[in-house]
Amino acid sequence: MLSMLPILVEITWKQWRRHRLRTLLTLLGIALGVSVLFAVRTANLTLLASLNVTIEKLAGKATLQIVGNEGGFPESVWETVKDTPGVYVAQPVIEVLGSTAYEDGGNLMIVGVDMLGDRELREYQFDEEGSEIADPLIALAQPDSILISRTFAERHQLKDGDKLPLYTAHGKKDFIVRGIFKPAGIGEVFDGQIAVMDVFNAQFIFGRGRNIDRIDLMNDKEVTVDELQKRLRERLPAGLDVTRPAARGQGIENAISAMSIGMTVASFIALLVGVFIIFNTFSISVNQRWKEIGILRALGVERGKVQGMFLLEAMLMGVVGSLIGVALGYILAIGAERVMSEIAAKVFSYVATQQPPVFRFDYALTSFVIGVAASVVGAVFPALAASRLNPILALHNIETRQRENVLGKGRIVAGVLLVMLGLGLIRFGPMRVGINFQFSYALLMLLGLIILLPKLSELTARVLRPVMDRLFGSVGVIAVDTMIQAPRRTSATVGALMIGLMFVFSMGAYVRSYQQTVSRWMDRMINSDLLISTSEMARSRTYHFSPELSGRIATLPGVISLENARILFVPYAGDSIGLVSLEMEGWFARVNDVVEDADAGVAREKMIAGDGILASRNFASRYGLKVGDSIRLETPTEPFERPIVGLLEDYTSEKGSIFMDRALYIKFWNDNAVDMIEVNLKPGVDAGTVKREIERLVKGEHRAFVYTNSEYKRWVMNLIDGFFVLNYMQMAIAIIIASLGIINCLLISVSERKRELGVLRAIGGLRSQIGRMIMLEAACIAIVGLVVGALAGILNTYFMVRTAATMIGGFIIPFRFPFEMVLIVLPVVLVISLAAAWWPARKAVRMPVIEAIGYE
Amino acid sequence: MTIRKSILLLLFYLPLSVLIIASSAPDARKIMELVYQQDTSKDATWRAVMDVMDKKGNVRSKKFVFRKIGSLGNSKTIIRFTDPAEVRGVGLLSINEGGTADRQWMYTPAIQRIRRIAAQERRQKFLGTDFTNEDMAERVLDDYTYKLLSEGEIVDGRKTYKIEGRPVSADKSQYAYVYLWVPHDTPYTVLAEMYDKEGQRRRILKATQLERISGIWIARRLEMSTPPDQTKTTLVIGEVKFNSGLKSDAFNREALERPDNF
């Protein structure tokens, strides 16, 4: 085969030059698929690198870190750590993602450190060469002292001694800038949106009591890090983890895994569409080169070599397309990483320090190889078809392939069986066998659908035929018949469309189902008149209200009662679960029928008495627990153990969540912070009026988001939309690639039929009729693609709600397919198809009849 | 805090008996012994003003009261800042026990809490002054070995002994050696230069306006400068009282939290 390479390259080059547009579109199809694949992996890696840089810069020279849960742990642990032999230096840390009170908002990462000793651990470079903080004693003595990065100072035109307004647990406060450090070391973190203050002042200002978030420490030279880690683990109370700073990155990686998985799936979808584009290109290429193949075969070239020739061509195309894809993907990664890091900060409160895209040669190579392999896979069937051509008939340019090949019973049975197998595995298969294995369920269904595609296309087209006849007469019928008579060509276009639309529909269905589920859940759980939150993301990991604010709100006219809620994440069974603490008596009084699997009255009594907890259904399902089982948690004070007294539906965390009485939480976690205040009003009191009162009360003092019940529900829905922004991006990518697929396939399809169109013209067909026919065929393909895409979408939605939602999101979401979305997408697909067909149709009808008939 | 430093400096670099200095066969260690031992007070109270000047010439001024009980190497001190308003009430408690590192606590009234001050890098400046953490630690005579370099140098019109001091444990000091000037007629170090391991002069301490109160020599004015940084910290000591009967219970954490008694 290698000896044929020069000839092959020459033939290929000739073909590529002759069909420049087709070649370009095919290359673009591969390039896009590869670029998305490479971009997602690169963006993911860059995001992790950016998050790790934050950890490293913040950790400084620390060799070990002691971390607890989100609520922090008592600073008394610091004394234990300092007194542990082998600890050279240990410093307490508080991290707060604060919010500036400037018009343009913006978050500020505030790191509380011991300003008297922290320089042994962290690098601070102050602006004045060789100088220190202007007045360290004042900086320590005044809790409003803050040191900021020069980047932040320049952004807000701040200098030493200026006021910096920030929202704190005690309301809005003006901090005084008492030092500006260079954008190096810790100053590089979070794009310079970083400030440092004394840890004890931070405790006071941010209402953290005597708790700290972390202890960073360095080991003595005489003791190894591992040995010290072991010693500390033996000495420290349970619930505290002694870890190397780098290991914390793994935790973050796990937390953002759902986001990464979603993006990776989208990239494979993009690549799959690329495979269809290749398939279509080569199907057409084979058709166009029958005579060429016939000559080669007549000259004695063996079947295998003909097949190899096409595969090599596909490989060449894959090589060029993949190279372009890798380059394109590297650029695309920059944008993708920005979006992902924003989500990481908003949703997970993980702060990234922007890093240039990481170029990993192995990733590039993998993407390249996958791209080339996808091209070859796409060309396998056309190449096989080419090798099976009868040389005599091929020389006469007569299609010899049998339609039954793609519409045969065997294929249909195989296709149906694969779809059924996929469905069966989704319905009855084990739930926790690993994400890759479970994705194969969806792949089985998809493979079945691809095999069934020609038949499905044909069936849909046959249904469409009378409609087209009635609407457009003989031109419409010819358009549909053309589709039916060329099932391979039609299937390739429809397949590209099906993959893209399947993704769009199933993702849309998933999002819609999730929204509806949450909406119903909110109707049962969220029924206070007003809700006040600390963050635009439902809760903040680092910013909380103090109970004092609730006390003031409770005295407002019209307020009958209120409940304080604390929502945080705590370690459980090696993972992190949601913990919701509420004033249970008030909560039970207003929620509707939330307790499941238990007597609601008994559960209520136990909850109020602090004798039990409620567990979310996904928590129980995830850890195989039921009512009556006990949950044990490590807390900053002593181990917490309570039985589950009931289950409830809850969407706080994909890992599951538990509910407990607030008094119980405060007792064990020694934390009285508040994340949300739910306010109940006297009957007849206007919620809007009280809302304005609360806003007046908090204005200029607290960063608080006050919502009426309906506003809150709308806001949650918007939040979900925000979380799904990546999914929408994936949908957009799928639509772009599917569009590219349609454009490619239709362009090729029309070009291929120049002779056929010429014959139609020769027997009296008008230019306008030919043009209309091409446009109608494009429209029919779009409709068929939409129908098949909807079918695939339904199947994939089933996979997503049954498997993916549980596997990635941990939630049980009912199956609902948004058929209205199909109708919404219809005009979009029609427009794209008609636009794609317009230019080739115009070109086709303008071609002289003689030239068209002579086209091979 | 700087007050405490001044005390230490005074104790470390100064007193001596005139008679011994007048003897004809000077020995560097003996001269320094007299400097260390000249303060025989049981307790001391100072009021002082500290000016820290940065390289642009900006001066930050603070006032404080310094109290000490016990003897060198076994003392307790409290420094209480009284001015400006931003630092009023801030207190520093140090407990020095022979052979162990100083234990220090700081009280900040704005958040009403005491914090332990971690042992720090020796060369790091203490609270923005020209004194480093090493300078702030209470030293004893045996921390250094001494060598007499000359006997006739004139400093501020006084004939002085120039003594070289080298730390006993080289790895425990940021300085490679120090030069000390002690007047023939006064057991007090009036000038000290500290050199790093590269031989660069890092700091200069000048003690002027020497005065003898209750038989104990003190310098009313101390100036520590850092030539490489072009910064300077000056301490001017006002009211001084020795042996006024301070109680040891005024030198603990509870006392630190009571800024009102200064």
Surface-to-core class of residue A785, CB atoms within 10 Å of its CB (0-12 exposed, 13-18 middle, 19+ buried): buried
Instruction: State chain A's mean pLDDT as an integer.
Output: 81
Question: Rounded distance, CA A786 to CA A593, Å?
Answer: 41
The residue-averaged pLDDT of A23-44 equals: 81
**Bridge partners for A113 per DSSP:** A93, A198
Using alpha carbons, list the distances in angstroms from residue A523 to A9, A20, A527, A601, A606: 66, 58, 7, 20, 24
CB contact under 8 A, B128 and A91: no
User: Residue B180: its pLDDT value, please?
Assistant: 95
In contact, A613 and A661? CB cutoff 8 Å: no
Chain A residues bordering chain B (beta-carbon distance below 8 Å) = 79, 82, 89, 91, 114, 116-117, 119-120, 128, 130-138, 140-143, 200-201, 203-204
State residue A261's pLDDT score. Answer: 66
Token match 């025989």: residue?
B40
Contacts of A82 in chain B (CB under 8 A): 118
In this predicted model, which residue has the larger pLDDT, A791 or A818? A791
pLDDT of residue A297: 78
Long-range interactions of B145-150: CB distance < 8 A, separation 24+: B145/B29, B146/B28, B146/B29, B146/B31, B146/B32, B147/B28, B148/B26, B148/B27, B148/B28, B148/B31, B149/B179
Question: If you count them, how many residues does chain A have?
Answer: 856
> Can you give the pLDDT at residue B14?
40
What is d(CA B222, CA B235) in angstroms, rounded to the nearest whole number? 5
Preferred mutation among A94, A116, A120 to probe B, highest tally of B CBs within 10 A: A116
pLDDT for position A171: 66
Q: What is the DSSP string of A157-189?
A: T--TT-EEEEEETTEEEEEEEEEEE-SSGGGGG
Residue A104 in contact with residue A165, Cβ under 8 Å?
no
Q: Map residue A398 onto helix, strand or coil.
A: coil
Of A116, A140, A200, the CB nearest to B118: A116
pLDDT in tens, A799-816: 888 776 666 556 677 788
Is the pLDDT confidence value at A631 over 90? yes
pLDDT greater than 80 at residue A694: yes
Residues of A in Cβ contact (< 8 Å) with B108: 140-141, 143, 200
Domain ranges of chain A: 1-61+249-400, 64-243, 544-702
Share of chain A above pLDDT 90, in %: 15
Q: How confident is the model at residue A371 (pLDDT cuts 50, 70, 90)?
A: confident
Tokens of A82: 């300092």
**Gyration radius of chain B over CA positions:** 18
> Does B62 sit within 8 Å of A131, measured CB to CB?
no
CA distance B230 to chain A (A): 10
With CB atoms and an 8 Å threshold, state whether A130 touches B113. no
Instruction: Return the higher-pLDDT residue of A288 and B22.
Output: A288
In A492-603, which ranges are E strands?
A: 530-533, 559-572, 575-582
What number of residues does chain B have?
262
| A595 closest CA partner among A561, A522, A644 | A644
Question: What per-residue confidence (pLDDT) applies to B200?
Answer: 93
Give the best residue of B51, B116, B200, B232 to mutate against chain A (max A CB count within 10 A). Answer: B116
Decide if A154 contacts A182 (C-beta within 8 A). no
Chain B interface, Cβ < 8 Å to A = 1, 52, 54-55, 60, 62, 81, 86-87, 90, 106, 108-111, 113, 115-121, 124-125, 127-128, 228-229, 231
Closest residue in A to B117 (Cα) is A116
User: How far, in Å, CA of B137 to CA of B172, rounded?
Assistant: 12
Of A116, A135, A143, the CB nearest to B60: A135
Max avg pLDDT among A238-252, A370-384, A390-404:
A370-384
Mutate to test the interface with B, among A137, A160, A178 (most CBs of B within 10 A): A137
Closest B-chain CA to A82: B118
pLDDT one-digit tens code per residue, A482-512: 888 777 677 777 887 888 888 888 888 888 8
Residue A616 bridge partners (DSSP): A648
| pLDDT above 60: residue A130 | no
pLDDT band per the 50, 70, 90 thresholds, residue A45: confident
A402 vs B182, more confident: B182
pLDDT of residue A28: 81
Q: What is the mean pLDDT of residues A191-196?
A: 85
Distances (CA, A) of A98 to A139, A190, A248: 19, 12, 22
Phi-psi region of A630 (alpha: psi -120 to 50; beta: other; left: phi over 0): beta
H or E segment and range at residue A413: helix A409-428
Does A136 contact B55 at a Cβ distance shorter than 8 Å?
A: no
In this predicted model, which residue has the larger pLDDT, A596 or A358?
A: A596
- The strands making up A530-533's β-sheet, listed across from edge to edge, are A630-633, A640-648, A613-616, A657-661, A575-582, A559-572, A676-681, A530-533, A705-708
| A611 confidence band (pLDDT: 50, 70, 90) | very high
Q: How confident is the model at residue A365 (pLDDT cuts 50, 70, 90)?
A: very high
| B90 with A131: Cβ contact below 8 A | no
Could you tell me if A270 and A37 are in contact, meaning their C-beta atoms sit under 8 angstroms apart?
Answer: yes
User: Helix A547-554 vs helix A687-698: angle between axes, to the nearest 10 degrees?
Assistant: 130
Q: For residues A130 and A330, what is the distance between their CA atoms, to the nearest angstrom?
A: 41
Mean pLDDT of A164-184: 80
pLDDT of residue B222: 94
pLDDT at B10: 41
More confident residue, A645 or A673: A645
Per-residue confidence at A176, pLDDT binned at 50, 70, 90?
A: very high
Percent residues over pLDDT 70 in chain A: 84
Ordered by where they begin, the domains of chain B are: 2-261 (2.50.20.10)
Condensed to tens digits (0 to 9), the pLDDT of residues B105-160 reads 889 999 888 888 765 556 677 777 888 867 777 777 888 899 999 998 999 899 99
Q: Are strands A163-168 and A87-100 parallel, antiparallel or unpaired?
A: antiparallel
- Do the Cβ atoms of A136 and B128 come within 8 Å? yes
Beta-bridge mates of residue A174: A165
Q: Is the model more confident about A774 or about A254? A: A774
| Bridge partners for B159 per DSSP | B154
Q: Under a CB-based contact definition with an 8 Å cutoff, are residues A154 and A113 in contact?
A: no
Q: From CA A558, how far away is CA A569, in angstroms rounded? A: 34
| Complex-level ipTM | 0.81
Residues of chain B with pLDDT under 50: 1-24
